[in-house]
Amino acid sequence: MKKHIIKLSLIVLVTLIYSCELNNDFLERYPLDRISNETFWNTENDLMVYNNRIYDLARNDNDVPILMGHDDGFDSNNQSIWYMDEFSDNIAPRHSRHQRYQQVRSGKHSIPTGPQMFGWRNGGWSFVRTINVFMDNYSKALENGVAEATANKYVGEARLFRGWFYAEKISKYGRAPWVERELNIDSEELYAPLDTRETVMAKVLEDLNFATQWLPNDWGDGGAPGRLNRWAALLIKSRVCLFEGTWRKYHGVGSDANMWLQEAASAAKELMDDGPYDLYSTGDPENDYQAMHKIMSDLTGVPEVMYWRRYQLGVFTNHVQNYHRGYNGGATKSYVEDALCTDGLPITLSDQYQGDASIRDVFENRDPRLRQTILHPDDVERWQWNRNDQTRTYPRLSGMGGMTSETGYSISKVYEPVTAHASYNVSDTPAIIMRFGEALLNYAEAMAELGTITQADLDISINRLRDRVGMPHLDLNPPMDPRYANDGVSSLIVEIRRERRIELFMEGFRYDDLRRWKQGKKLETPDLGIRFDAGMKAEIDPEGAAVVKTTKVGGIDYVDVYQGTDWANPVFDEGKHYFWPIPLSAISQNPAIEQTPGWN
């Protein structure tokens, strides 16, 4: 966020805290050295400046985990959109600073006594209160001459944040306390039970619809990461509605699953048809997918990037690149094996698959996105992976020295060598928060779930993503991958889900996708890494320096990341693990709150 926005936001926060009403002979005389509700809500600029505070609070991803980027400073080593896939079967971290991801991933988390990372936090509910203060007061600007259409831009902004925040809470807890006014210490809502999914999500949809109607197409900021526009609201709506529609369909709860799916499809289609965004492509299928994630510092003008977070030395910085290579643990065997072969078939059906006896074989005849996501041995020098010693073998596992990973599959998708080796804690690596490619995936999936998808729908969505990397088109009747034959869905939905996993890897979607599809049992499969039999050891670790444990799959040894740790033997209890538990501290403050089902 721009520096002046931050400063103005802080001014508004401090001054509003100390606002007061004079209830005496000087009723019409207000303090000259501070802002009050009576003197503030006068102009469009007042509405804009107040909403800057909402953006400022939303930047705290731990409290408000919706507009996810990289956290500020040191905390960016474990709080970043890049790490959200660690809750899932995509990435396998082992570092102690990423323990929360390991706990949830393995089903070994418990009811917390206080706030948990990205969970039920006081800062999040303060965020809602800040929004509701705006909702209670913006009408004063109308009384002072601000046009309703002008005010509604900022109302849409506030309601977009509120609806998005509540949708995230419903996704994790199934219920939430819907509040749409400013509360005080005597408000009865403070001691009320949680509202149902149906109640809250109906309100969420009202908020999102208002936002998509009134937010401007362009705030005139030149594409800088300033304010969310109507196109971003449409993408958020498609994301929220797709989650809700598939949740209701596969979990058999709530009503109107198809209504939510249709809302998702319609929002995505409007963005696709009328929005100013497009896929980033220069006609280079071997690099274009990755290149967008490596354009450093300034993403203004990149046609696919719809919203991003800027970092600037001396204002707001991170060190995600510095920690990226070691802390995330590396990609899993499960993810790597999901990438199709260049004939468009899965490795279980394609005669082009070369196996994994050698690390190079893994990449042969595969979707180009695999090499643009996972480090290939021939790219080690190109990306200065082991900057001080480019002669080191690759892959490198724990114990081998240099830049190692837990799985052997080091992630290169977002890696940029100059920033990665920059000074500690002063990186300006931006975070891509929303991009147009997601809209294509949301549209295809929603239409497939509705059962109305056509080949033309695939061609304007999934097949555009495949065109960028030179992959064969998906048709309406792909062969069934035998690994997914028991998932209870069509082969087309299998392939759309696979496309989503490959395209959106390390962008924070996989864990929520598995939950909404009711595929949590997939998390009971242990996280494995590269093949590590005698042949692979001789290739990459002739000195026997690697300190890893292995498990056999089909008689072949593979790195077993969590064997011998607290996170071995993962469990997924379908009666509880689709949701998160509410902290005991929240329940003690309001005994009317019932613990999340399955956790009580």
Region 186-208: mean pLDDT is: 95
459: left (phi over 0), alpha (psi -120 to 50) or beta: alpha
Q: What's the pLDDT at 10?
A: 41
pLDDT of residue 313: 85
Does 72 score more than 50 pLDDT? yes
Diameter over CA atoms, the chain:
90
Nearest to 135 by CA among 109, 154, 112: 154
pLDDT digits (tens, 9 = 90+) for 449-497: 999 999 999 999 999 999 999 999 999 999 999 999 999 999 999 999 9
Q: What is the pLDDT of residue 431?
A: 94
Model confidence at 326, pLDDT cuts 50, 70, 90, reads confident
Helices and strands in the chain, H and E counts: 23, 5
Q: With cut-offs at 50, 70 and 90, classify the pLDDT of residue 18.
A: very low
pTM of the model: 0.93
**Residue range 32-54, pLDDT digits in tens:** 445 667 779 999 999 999 999 99
Distance in Å from the first CA to the final CA of the chain: 41
Give Cα separations from 88 to 93, 408, 439, 459, 523 (angstroms): 11, 18, 22, 29, 7
| 423 vs 276: CA distance, rounded Å | 37
Higher pLDDT, 25 or 483: 483
Q: Does 225 or 446 have the greater pLDDT score?
A: 446
Q: Please tell me whether the peptide bond between 395 and the residue prior to it is cis, using omega within 30 degrees of 0.
A: yes
Tell me the per-residue pLDDT of 330-374, one tens digit each, with 9 for 90 and over.
999 999 999 999 999 999 999 999 999 999 999 999 999 999 999
* pLDDT, position 426: 83
Which of 73-82, 395-404, 423-432 shows the lowest mean pLDDT across its residues? 423-432
pLDDT band, very low/low/confident/very high, at 74 (cuts 50, 70, 90): confident
Tell me the H-state helices in 401-544.
Answer: 417-420, 436-450, 455-459, 462-468, 491-503, 510-516, 534-540
Q: Encode pLDDT of 246-260 as tens digits.
A: 999 999 998 899 999
Task: Specify the DSSP element, H or E, that contains 307.
Answer: strand 305-309
pLDDT for 73 equals 85
In this predicted structure, what is the pLDDT of residue 417? 78
Mean pLDDT, residues 210-235 = 92
For 574-583, the pLDDT digits (tens) are: 999 999 999 9
Assess contact for 172 and 112: CB atoms under 8 A: no
3-state secondary structure labels for all residues of 393-407: CCCCECCCCCCCECC
